[in-house]
Structure 1
């Protein structure tokens, strides 16, 4: 516990969050370096013993990355295999044909929801954007109508549904049941994606007009024509099965006590394969066959794909770890306890508190993953001290808070702006508003769920 107490602790915490925003957004400093510097400065300012500051930060980083680094690596490999095999393209072609050209905005949100399950938002975006360009060209529709449902679907899955790393970490931090979390996340996530995606896109499409020519779109649509001529895509069934396999295994693991008698070999085995790391490992191994060998790729090609895809995740992993370190400094300095006291006296529900803390960190750092993992670290001890807290619903409200108001310090903001050929103002009107709709709708639906379950 630091030498500073009470309200002063909260003031220092607020200054730290504002410093994060300014350094990352205005001065364009690396988020990882910024989180380390601000965490150390905060520990020093609140009077933590100097020898404990780095120890505390390292403990936070280690605790966060011990689990999440494995999940990021395995999930990225699964996503890469899907991309290289043409699995994402197969899902897109099948669903666009099924929905029809008039309902292409509904097709895109479903595509993003499925494809986004095993991959980070940025990876899913890069994977699906060539498909969005081709769908827009084929159906002669705007990238607003096609693209916003796509990014909304990816964002909802990224923030709410395991096996996404941040959601998994929140499940762990809050001691939530994996099966219930996935079930509630789907109940909340599906209508949220529908409102923020196709329904909002239909509305905003009338007000945002993009330039006729998008240089990136032209490049991708030409590439797609060339690839289509030379490659046979995997089947729809096997593609969806491979992508959903980790979710299926985690559900089986959480239902192990219903399927087999506890403490037996069968029960222990089901729990083992239902562990998030094991589930993703099994799915990655299966993908080496379904998306690799069965598609004509040799061992060298599969090795190349898996080596290539891990390098870009290094900075994501470091930033997430640093977010965990920042969260640990907040806890060890007594700031978390001060927040608890304020929340207790203000009668703020734990579910709303999880959302509010994640909102503040999201706006500060620009990263939904950092916001969710850091907020879970701060709110978990509070939740443990409040009887009747529903940990599965707390995962959802924290995830919802982590998605609000994407702006200039978020990599996703610039991805959407550049690929969709928008101005900064148009990106705020479309992407930033869609993210805020997701956050608020998911919070309201989860609070509604809390009253009926």
Structure 2
């Protein structure tokens, strides 16, 4: 089983007991008011999201009756672990994206895609690319790798950003929630003792129509509701000077796919060998770690992109330095989102959801989905929702067939993707990268996540009737 993902790191260490003794009703009120404070400060008072998330976390803790010193500790712990996990990946992705742009490599990729795919086929092409890349990648890594291409294709081809971006996000998100070797599905497989191969096969079977519906089809409507121009600082620009040469298409794609290959190799070795003490597995656990895989791509990119375009040492150093400036605000906002999420977890909101749902008398698959939905809405973490829900419903798998145990895993994964909002670091990541307001992010990203969740559970329930 792979090491913790960026999102699992962002979830932070689970406390032994909640930092407050508040009852369920008080916690529910605290969650609603905490989220309301954040949304109100951002939308009504135009306060920066970083500050709004800090104030909202303090309000949540105070209303829940938690000691403020412990609330502060929870928030800073969540902020620190999120920045350590996701922040480093964002920074490395930004460097790789800047190298792609300045060297002309991104132009080469975009020009090739635009030449091969028609305007009508472009959203489908982006969904396919994201789905393939997203199979072994953590969601955050997939975003930082795909964003430069998405933004450049949208700008260069005159496409709506939502028309191109939503299919890419859908492909990444569906793979993250439903298909092993992602940590969430693997944790659920382990908890309910499901068959990995059967779960993988059924996961792909559910994922394909889900990506189609939540990606290219939903993007048609999302592009009508929200028409945004991405932040100029994040849009890869054509090199300011005419380059004598630029990297080839094959070399550029190979550089971008290098972390994909390394992480996929790690996942395959983990599955085949399944011995944490084995030297080969330990080696691949290192080189397939998201940080090392992206770092390797950056180092290789210095030569296959920078040097291939004729850049000297000074020019490469300048490119790296300039790549980090536009992402400072993103890092703080995403980190604060992780802090708010950790505050929710530490005051006991996830446990509250599990306590309330344990006596529900409904279908095991639907129960697993609803529990995961509740924990996802409360904590913002898909991985926390998956692990918590899997642990709660694991006894139900004892009398199920092999196929239905795998469907139980998929039901949990589907619920873990429901309606990403202000307590999810991914919400802020997408918002900032695409230059959207909170309301626009909810109408596009949050709704897309909800569609993925609902469509997935519908297909899971239909499969349960025929297998």
TM over 0.5: yes
Kept in 2, the 8 Å contact 1:174–1:376? The answer is no
Counterpart CA distance in 1 for 2:82 and 2:221 is: 40
Shift of the 328–22 alpha-carbon distance from structure 1 to 2, 3 Å rule, reads same
Residue 93 of structure 2 is matched in structure 1 by 75
SS in 2 for 1:349: helix
Residue 359 of structure 2 aligns to a residue in which SS? helix
In the TM superposition, what is the alpha-carbon distance from 1:92 to its structure 2 partner?
A: 2.4
How far apart are 1:106 and its partner, in Å? 3.9
Correspondent of 2:391 among 367, 384, 394: 384
Distance 1:315 1:50, change over 3 A: same
1:37 is the counterpart of 2:59? no
Contact 1:88/1:115 (CA < 8 Å) preserved in 2? Answer: no
Contact 1:171 1:391 in 2 (8 A): yes
Relative to structure 1, is the Cα distance of residues 258 and 187 closer, same or farther in structure 2, using a 3 angstrom cutoff? same
1:412–1:64 CA distance, 2 compared to 1 (3 A): closer
| Equivalent in the alignment of 2:452 | 441
Q: Which residue of 2 aligns with 1:368?
A: none
1:88-130 deviation line (CA, Å, top 9, x unaligned): 3222222333234664554455567789988675995565445
| Aligned with 1:274 (options 285, 288, 295) | 288
| Partner Cα distance (1:83, 1:400) in 2 | 34
Q: Give yes or no for contact 2:330–2:429 (8 Å, CA) kept in 1.
A: no
For 2:87 and 2:411, how far apart are their aligned partners in 1? 25
Structure 2 counterparts to residues 292-303 of structure 1, below 5 A: 292-303=306-317
CA contact (8 A) 2:78 2:339 kept: yes
Residue pair 2:410, 2:460 contacting (<8 A) in 1 also = no
Alignment coverage as a number of residue pairs? 410
Looking at structure 2, the residues matched to 415 and 270 of structure 1 have their Cα atoms a distance apart, in angstroms, of 31
- CA RMSD, 1 decimal: 4.6
When normalised by structure 1's length, the TM-score is 0.71
Task: Give the Cα–Cα distance (whole angstroms) in 2 for the partners of residues 244 and 331 of structure 1.
Answer: 35
Check the 8 A contact 1:196/1:434 in 2, yes or no: no
Partner of 1:135: 157
Structure 1 pair 257–120 and aligned structure 2 pair: CA distance change class (3 A): closer
1:333 to 344, 347, 354: 347
TM-score by length of 2: 0.69
Deviation at 1:200, TM superposition (A): 4.9
Q: CA deviation at 1:253?
A: 0.9
Between the aligned partners of 2:339 and 2:442, the Cα distance in structure 1 is 29
Paired with 2:132 and 2:270, the residues of 1 have a C-alpha distance of: 28
SS at match of 1:401: coil
Does the aligned pair in 1 maintain the 2:259–2:293 contact within 8 Å? yes
User: Given the superposition, is the C-alpha separation of residues 258 and 193 from structure 1 closer, same or farther in structure 2, using an over 3 Å criterion?
Assistant: closer
Deviation at 1:413, TM superposition (A): 6.8
For 1:3 and 1:431, how far apart are their aligned partners in 2? 32
Aligned match for 2:325, one of 311, 322, 329: 311
Contact 1:149 1:196 survives alignment (8 Å): no
- Name the CA shift for 1:197/1:171 in 2 (closer, same or farther; >3 Å): closer
Structure 1's 198 and 238: CA in aligned 2 closer, same or farther, altered over 3 A? same
Q: How far is 1:249 from its partner?
A: 0.9
Q: Which runs of 5+ in 1 are unaligned?
A: 137-142, 362-370, 419-423
Distance 1:63 1:297 in 2: 35
Question: 1:250: how far off?
Answer: 1.0
Deviation of residue 273 (structure 1)? 0.8
